[in-house]
Chain A
Amino acid sequence: MTAAGRPSVPRLHPKARLQHDDVRGRDVLLYPEGLVALNPTGAEILELCDGVRSVAEVVATLERRYGAAGEGGVERDVTAFLDGLAAKGLVTYGS
């Protein structure tokens, strides 16, 4: 949820593509003239950003998976990760 409490739906910018890097055994986000190496958590977050789920729903899904509901850590991590990509123009927020 955003500060104002509205649902905020993160999605990958069309210029960015999630790709598995077989040689290095990791996932990467590819975009024009660049790439971001992802750790497994980052890749998992991005796979949940389907243009339908809100940030809160992404957080809730991960909390259920890892049995960490309501501790706040997942929300902090997800928000920081997505905001970092948004600052690079790789993730956009809609509704």
Chain B
Amino acid sequence: MDPKPLWLLAELTYKCPLQCPYCSNPLDFAGPRFKRELSTEEWYRVFREAKALGVLQLGLSGGEPTLRGDLEDLVREAHELGLYTSLITSAYRLTKERLAALKAAGLDHVQISIQGADAELSDAVAGTGSYGDKIAAYHYTRELGFPLTVNVVLHRRNLHQVEALIRLAESLGAERIELANTQFYGWALHNRAALMPTRAQLDDAWRVVQRERARLGTRLEIVWVLPDYHEQYPKPCMGGWARAYMTVTPAGEVWPCHAAGRITTLTFENVRAHPLAWIWEHSEAFTRFRGDAWMPEPCRSCPRKTQDFGGCRCQAFLVAGDAGLTDPVCSLSPHRHLIDAAVAEVERAAGAVEWTYRAAPASRALAAKG
């Protein structure tokens, strides 16, 4: 049976007041490719078509999705369609009134990022003073009865705070904390040397996670997104290419994941030109790596191919130069040495490496350099 999508990530805008150096948005987010944002009506059509195609889970993300003045309308439409809606926000300037309006519109779940366990580090990583807004918004979500996920992207400069972050989520009464080790795409890949953790940091953090999971049980779910560069085998990226997920970007391009747009050897279609069902079923970007017929060795004859689906196509493209290769994270990949070199570099590095904040001027400058 052909796969049907369950998940849609709607990236409503790439505008964002935060400047996190690990942002998964494209480096050229400020460029012409993403300029003409979909209208309210266009998003309604995307949601309707997604639901008809099988989508049940909708992530409203960005950029910062609350910058869209029509967010309440979008939530209402999605809710009436029966989609389970999650708002993925930085909570910058997010008021209790706005959250209450979103609740009334049918929003199901709120995920608020935080960049560190205290204002000093969180604001330094975000590049924008936002810690106070986040803490206030965490309390609003609880007062309004939303299930709450605290999301933290982990890297060299905040991994030592894992215990404090878990305690913070616990004290807020969150349902989940997502401890997402940085995945190296977009701005995170550009800033990889500054963000890459040491093995010792990861080992310490993982010990804390195991201990806290045992202590907290079902009271707080602790999600640990694996640091894949430090693993032996690749992640089962998106549960396999074009099997369950799709991302619609602010200007309507449809990608099999939120990083896929960087694969320059694929052609991506736009919801303005084609129905979503056609894009899912027939477009080159979605069919190219679906299933396992595309797989080269060592994946083709590997018993793990039904578990990890050859890993991540974006990583194969970005690190090994060809989206059709085995994920270079795999210890069986002939390109694993490229990953090992990036991991080894941090162990040798003395002192902090500077990062580039995610911001429109930097985006335009990087795009100009090519």
Contact = CB atoms under 8 A, between A and B. Distances in A.
Are these two chains actual partners, yes or no? yes
B149 A17 contact: no
Given A14-B145, A35-B6, A89-B218, A19 B56 contact: yes
Contacts of B209: none
What bracket does the count of chain B residues touching chain A fall in? 20 to 34
A25 to B, nearest CB: 11
Interface in A1-51: 14-15, 17, 19-21, 23-24, 28, 30-35
A30 B84 contact: yes
B108 interface: yes
B229 to A, nearest CB: 23
Interface string A59-90: 00000000000000000000000000011110
B176 interface: yes
A32 B56 contact: no
A22 B322 CA distance: 38
Given A30-B84, A33-B176, A87-B218, A17 B108 contact: yes
A21 B56 contact: yes
Given A17-B108, A88-B218, A89-B218, A33 B52 contact: no
What bracket does the count of chain A residues touching chain B fall in? 10 to 19
A15 B57 contact: no
Nearest to A89: B218
Contacts of A14: 145, 147
Given A21-B56, A23-B4, A87-B218, A32 B82 contact: no
Interface of B: 4, 6, 52-54, 56-57, 82, 84, 86, 108-109, 111, 145, 147, 149, 175-176, 218, 221, 223
